[in-house]
A and B are shown apart, each in its own frame.
Chain A
Amino acid sequence: MVAPPDNDVLWARALHFSYRDGSPALSGVSLGVQQGEILAVTGPRGSGKTALLRCLSGQAPARQGEIWFNSVPVHTMGAQARERLRRDRFAWIDPTPSLVPELNVWENAALPLMLRGTGRRRAKTAATEWLERLDIGALARKRPHQLVRAERQRVSIARALAPAPTVLFADEPTAPLHRADRTQVLRTLTNAARSHGVTVVLAGQDAESAAFADRTLTLLDGRRVNTVHLPPVTEPEGRAACSLSV
């Protein structure tokens, strides 16, 4: 077992992962994420971005390979230990904001802090501070179903940032949004992370997320590639043959 480099907060080597039905997702991905860095993971749909993030955050155990977090092996941890790691060190943003529908906005944002054992008042203060910073302080007492989607996504960003995580995993946080909202959400997310020294692993399909990141990692069919060279789409396949046969 090779110890990871010291300056990497998150380090993975030769990750292999396949879904339960056996279809491959990752085949031999290695990467290192430095402290305070914003790493964009890009690639077309089905290239294994979500699988990589889920493996790195300990939600799904990798079939092969090693994952180290701050020189602690994640791949050998049990389910309980990974759960604690997720709660205490990591934060996660879903593609579609998944808030608890019964809780109002500030309670949703304060929930991870409260689950860590922080007192209610301190959790509320931290949560409302982040809501203010993300321009949704006025909505603190509303329920999630009263918000539009971009606002809900900002609430989930506040929820992810409020407990001051070491690493924030954002799985296509802008996927269901329109372009204007998309840029704004990405900007608030990356600015907030930079100002608080939070390491971010940001998955995204478009080049836009790469523009906000320090470094970009491109995946294609579960492998890490430097540049995506796909054959150019010229004309519909088979059309020439059909016209010849007439």
Chain B
Amino acid sequence: MLALRLSRGARPAVQLRRLLVAAASAGTGFLLLCALGYAMSHPESPAEASLRLVWCLPPLASTIHFAAAVARTDPGTRPRPGLDAVGLGPLRLTLLSAATTALACALGSMLALLVFLHLRGDLTGMPFDGAAAASLAADSPLPLPAALTLLALVPVTASAAVAVVLRPGEPVAARTGAAGPLPRVGGHDRPGRRETFGAYGRFGARRRRGEPAAAEVNGAAPAGEAPADALTADGRSPDRPEEESARLPGPVPPRPAPRGLPWGVAVLAAGLAVESYAARAGDGGPVLPAALPTGPTGVLAGWLLTALGLALAAPGLTHLCGRLVQAVRPGPLRLLAGRGLMAEATRIGRPLGVVCAVASAAYASALVSGDAASAAFGPLSTLGAVVVIGCAVATLLTAAVEARQDRADTTAALLRLGAPTATLRNAAVLRACALLLLFVPLTLAVAHLAALPLAR
């Protein structure tokens, strides 16, 4: 009930994000049900039916990715001092976010079921009744357990993923002492000070094991500090959740620079190499549904490796991009833009890498498959592609919103200094342009390289 009440009171932007999650879940659920329908109407070819089921994995994965990103930015389910004080601590709020995610995904699944039944002709009274009755095996009754299992897949996995992503990373008891907000001196709330939501890896969920606390790393002796600050200094980790910065005075140590760049480049290169070797071997490979370019199995593995490499390398590349922007004798604009990009490299870079991987895969398959193939690009493949691309882009935008909300404090401080809003806006535009300048050519190059062995 609390999850319902909290989700009802949210602002339109938040509701829109939840609706997008529901839509993605509906798309994925419909694809899963269509795989079921295919299996029912073609009982003689189980291999092909299970292949169709396997092809539902990319939409499923991107839906879960998006749901986790939305849960991280959800203001309704982040720890609040008021709720903490009445006993609704970080742990239960994590469960609450999982419940909210499950709610949105279940809504989407219901929608998918309705549309599916409608297209089969089981539900009547609207246009397109039973429009796809033949292909969805309308003559045989729908096996309810199978349908329910498939429909429950998205809500269950998504809420489990959210619970894992947002799980409190440190003992709750240790945090409660520092959790209270320091009362704002003067008692005037600042205008424009927004709640900073959904830190990336809140509660130190992203805290890496084996890394010493930052107090030791920095050598900043907490001894001379006021007691409240000493408390933070003790528990600080490099990946300390940002929302603590809203609660506790003092800056949060930045996340360490992403170190995945060499790995990413290596995996990318390995993927391209595997692909070109496999194309030469040419074993026919699996038959892919619809119009996806067919090729040897090794090519497919190579593509997957390439996509993984792009996603791994992207945070490092984003950091590099920020470093280049603020490189030689920067003025305030380049300084703010570049350093901001460096600080947000992990948060922005990961979804950006996924977007690049998806975009390069889409571009490469468009390059390889000719006109004849694209004519055979069926509605289900289109739906799958829309879900995957839409989720990737929406996740990136959600991450950008998260970063902006996270930096609201800094922005407010800059505005108090009298920093022109135009400068701040230009810095954001500069960041976006720098990222586009780096990642668009990279994506195109990777796509061309990936398409090369198949095009021969």
A contacts, CB < 8 Å to B: 19-20, 25, 45-46, 49-51, 54, 59-60, 83-88, 90, 92, 94-103, 107, 111-112, 114-115, 120, 143-150, 152, 159, 171-172, 175-178, 203
Contacts and interface: CB of A to CB of B under 8 A. Distances in A.
B343 A102 contact: yes
B50 interface: no
A103 B427 CA distance: 14
A143 B224 CA distance: 18
A49 B186 CA distance: 7
Contacts of B249: 96, 149, 176
Contacts of B336: 100
Given A87-B419, A115-B417, A115-B419, A145 B331 contact: no
Interface of B: 182, 184-189, 191, 214, 218-222, 224-226, 229, 249-254, 329-332, 335-336, 339-340, 342-343, 409-410, 412-421, 423
Contact of A50 (B188, B218, B342, B413): B188
8 contacts: A49-B186, A97-B250, A99-B251, A101-B252, A102-B340, A102-B343, A103-B335, A120-B330
A147 B416 CA distance: 22
A102 B418 contact: no
Given A60-B191, A90-B418, A175-B185, A115 B332 contact: yes
B187 A112 contact: no
A187 B107 CA distance: 63
B410 A100 contact: yes
Interface centre among A49, A60, A85, A96 (most CB of B within 10 A): A96
Contact of B221 (A50, A100, A115, A148): A148
Contact of B187 (A50, A60, A100): A50
Given A50-B188, A87-B419, A145-B251, 17 more contacts: A51-B186, A54-B188, A83-B415, A96-B250, A98-B409, A98-B413, A101-B410, A102-B339, A103-B339, A112-B417, A114-B331, A114-B332, A115-B420, A143-B254, A146-B220, A152-B251, A176-B185
A83 B421 contact: yes
B186 A50 contact: yes
Nearest to A178: B226
Contacts of B339: 100, 102-103
Contact of B226 (A143, A146, A149): A149
A185 B111 CA distance: 63
A99 B250 CA distance: 9
Interface centre among B252, B416, B423 (most CB of A within 10 A): B416
B225 A148 contact: yes
A141 to B, nearest CB: 13
A177 B423 contact: no
A89 B218 CA distance: 36
A148 B251 CA distance: 10
Contacts of A83: 415, 418, 420-421
A103 B340 CA distance: 9
B343 A101 contact: yes
Nearest to A89: B418
A100 B226 contact: no
Contacts of B335: 103, 107, 111, 114
A87 B422 CA distance: 13
B418 A172 contact: no
Contacts, number: 131
Contacts of A171: 185-186
B188 A25 contact: yes
Nearest to B340: A102
A94 B416 contact: yes
B182 to A, nearest CB: 8
B321 to A, nearest CB: 14
Contacts of A20: 191
A25 B218 CA distance: 42
Nearest to B415: A83
Given A102-B340, A103-B339, A145 B188 contact: no
A84 B187 contact: no
Contacts of B251: 99, 101, 143-145, 152
B290 to A, nearest CB: 47
B187 A115 contact: no
Contacts of A99: 251, 413
B178 to A, nearest CB: 15
A149 to B, nearest CB: 6
B329 A120 contact: yes
Contacts of B421: 83
Contact of B331 (A60, A88, A120): A120
B220 A148 contact: yes
Contact of A86 (B221, B342, B418): B418
A19 B186 CA distance: 12
B330 A51 contact: no
B418 A87 contact: yes
Contact of B417 (A85, A87, A145, A150): A87
Interface centre among B182, B188, B219, B221 (most CB of A within 10 A): B188
Contacts of A146: 218-220
B407 to A, nearest CB: 9
Contacts of A50: 185-188
Nearest to B330: A120
A181 to B, nearest CB: 8
Nearest to B416: A92
A87 B332 CA distance: 14
A120 B340 CA distance: 19
Contacts of A148: 220-222, 224-225, 229
Contacts of A60: 191
Contacts of A90: 418
Contacts of B254: 101-102, 143, 145
